[in-house]
Amino acid sequence: MEFLNKNWITENQIDFEYKKYMLLAYLQHVSENFTDKRLYPYLSDLVEHYRNLKVLQENKHQLYNMFPECLKGADVDHFNLIYEKMISDDAIMSEIESILDFSIPKMESYLREGKKIYDFIEDRMKIFPVGLMPLNSEFGYVFLKEGNSTDTKVYEYQVTIFENPTEKYRGVHFSYLTIYEKSIMNTFEAIKSDLISFNKKFPNPATFVIETSLSIPFEETFLPLAKRTLVKRLAS
């Protein structure tokens, strides 16, 4: 099983052994991808499921509200339809609590596995600027190079800001441009100069190199970690 639905706990039959089978099949798939150093979307998906289960465990009222309702009748005097929860058996709630008690520690174990791989790879990623940096580094170029490959993938980046009433989040959007083959003549500085010659509206764009000696899956691991690495660098 590749992915679990958001409401996997309460959908279909509520049976501990059945949900246990679903969870273990899902976690096995996650672990296989972690073993191959494919972190995304598996790690973020696992984090989301874990947080949902913790909320359910801490807020039983929310758990009760997740269950579907059936139409019981109508209140003609007040023009309202009357619904009732399709759950009334304390044994079912007890079954759900057993599922939560089993699932949360299991997910914590796999989260530790994913975090260990994440930290290992992050520690082996380097980021450094190319040439002089402009005052505004909210947009520019980023060069990605991994393993023993001579290819340097070039992206244009743009910092994005997400806000809610209490917090502000910084993210980054990458747009793929091209690939250069790095050589003695084709240095990072030469690549930057070549990009400037083709896009003269950015005479001195902020430019960073992010590289690692590891050979890791590009889309599932290197690219998302590169985005996080750049955001951390810009925030500092």
State residue 71's pLDDT score: 43
Least confident of 44-58, 68-82, 110-124: 68-82
Flag whether the pTM goes above 0.85. no
Q: How many domains does the chain have?
A: 2
Mean pLDDT of 31-54: 95
**Inter-residue long-range contacts of 185-192, CB under 8 Å, 24+ positions, other chains counted:** 188/130, 188/143, 188/152, 189/130, 189/131, 191/130, 191/143, 191/152, 191/154, 192/130, 192/131, 192/141
- pLDDT at 88 > cutoff 70: no
Residues 44 and 139 both lie in one domain: no
The rounded mean pLDDT for the chain is: 86
- pLDDT at 104 > cutoff 60: yes
95 belongs to a structural domain: yes
164 belongs to a structural domain: yes
Residues 80 and 175 both lie in one domain: no
154 to 19, 70, 143, 147: CA distances (angstroms): 44, 55, 5, 16
Residues 84 and 60 both lie in one domain: yes
62 belongs to a structural domain: yes
Domain that holds residue 176: 125-235
Residues 109 and 28 both lie in one domain: yes
List, for residues 127-178, the tens digit of each pLDDT value. 999 998 998 899 999 999 998 888 999 999 999 877 665 566 778 999 999 9
Residues 213 and 201 both lie in one domain: yes
- pLDDT at 203 > cutoff 90: no
4 belongs to a structural domain: no
Residues 77 and 130 both lie in one domain: no
32 belongs to a structural domain: yes
78 belongs to a structural domain: yes
